[in-house]
């Protein structure tokens, strides 16, 4: 009986030690993964901040005043003093073309 109790005690002691080592290893993995999570969240925050700045910049660049200034300064465009109405016809009559040519000739 004594030997059996001694073996049972040694077996339980080995299982407790293995369980303790496993707890230590898992705790180490949890700390490492938590550090990786914090680093990833920091990078995400930096990307979100950059994205917000880009949205603000896009809004500023697409404002009406900025587009009008770019058109005038860089493209030398201007708003016409007199607005003309141009009508485009999909079908052209031969009679209309002839009468327009006759009207243009002096």
Q: pLDDT by residue (tens digit) across 37-89?
A: 999 999 999 999 999 999 999 888 888 888 888 888 888 888 788 887 888 87
**Cα 81 to Cα 26, 66, 75, 78, 92, distances in angstroms:** 78, 21, 18, 9, 30
- Enumerate residues 6+ apart whose C-beta is below 8 A from 8: none
pTM above 0.85, yes or no: no
CB 77 within 8 A of CB 71: yes
Name the percent of the chain lying above pLDDT 90: 51
Task: Give domain status of residue 61, yes or no.
Answer: yes
Task: Give domain status of residue 92, yes or no.
Answer: no
Residue-range definition of the domain harbouring residue 54: 2-78
Q: What total of structural domains would you count in the chain?
A: 1
Task: Give domain status of residue 16, yes or no.
Answer: yes
Task: Give domain status of residue 58, yes or no.
Answer: yes
Task: Give domain status of residue 97, yes or no.
Answer: no
For the chain, what percentages of helix, strand and coil (3-state, to nearest 5) are there?
A: 75, 0, 25
Task: Give domain status of residue 38, yes or no.
Answer: yes
Task: Give domain status of residue 6, yes or no.
Answer: yes
Largest CA-CA distance found in the chain, in angstroms, rounded: 135
The two tokens of residue 94 are: 């031969």
């Amino acid at each position: 009986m004594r030997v059996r109790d001694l073996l049972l005690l040694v077996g339980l002691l080995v299982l407790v030690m293995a369980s303790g080592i496993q707890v230590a290893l898992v705790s180490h993995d949890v700390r490492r993964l938590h550090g990786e999570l914090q680093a990833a969240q920091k990078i995400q925050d930096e990307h979100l901040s950059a994205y917000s700045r880009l949205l603000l910049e896009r809004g500023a660049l697409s404002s009406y005043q900025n587009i009008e200034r770019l058109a005038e300064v860089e493209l030398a465009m201007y708003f016409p003093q007199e607005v003309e109405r141009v009508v485009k016809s999909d079908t052209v009559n031969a009679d209309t073309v002839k009468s327009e040519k006759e009207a243009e000739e002096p």
